[in-house]
A = this chain, B = another copy of it.
Amino acid sequence: MSPRDTEVTDQVTDVCPVRDLLDRIGSKWTVQVIEALAGRTLRFTELERAVDGVSRRVLVRTLRALERDGLLRRTVHPTVPVTVEYALTPLAAGLGGPLTALADWARTHRADMVSARRAYDAAAARPALSGDPA
């Protein structure tokens, strides 16, 4: 009975499209894989180098999840050592827009979030004090 485990969010349990999508792009390497494949086709090993830092196992999981959602096309070439090519589908290309918008926002407001964090952490360090000591 298909030993496929459920890693990298393989389920459909969810009914909210937004959460569903976020489960996908929220997983650690998904966006970087999509970026790496933007406008080009890569083989498995090339992807492994392009993403850099991802473990083989997790890369496979990420690719499977993307393929399952129709965002990625996996092509096997029956050469002697088998070669496999990965490419984004038109569906994924359409996702690129909103994703880029989000990425742009993240880069633009990075500084705001960092300073907000510093302020928050600093405040947490002095629980009950109004005047700054010395």
Q: Does A124 contact B (CB under 8 A)?
A: yes
Of the four ranges (under 10, 10 to 19, 20 to 34, 35 or more), the interface on chain A belongs to 35 or more
Report A117 CB to chain B, min CB distance, Å. Answer: 6
Instruction: Give the complex CA separation of A106 and B117 in angstroms.
Output: 30
Number of copies of this kind of chain in the complex:
2
Within 8 A of B (CB), among A104-126: 104-107, 109-110, 112-117, 119-121, 124-125
Within 8 A of B (CB), among A29-82: 31-32, 67-71
Interfacial chain B residues near A91, Cβ < 8 Å:
109, 112-113, 116
Interface residues of A (CB under 8 A from B): 2, 4, 12, 17-23, 25-28, 31-32, 67-71, 91, 94-95, 97-99, 101-107, 109-110, 112-117, 119-121, 124-125
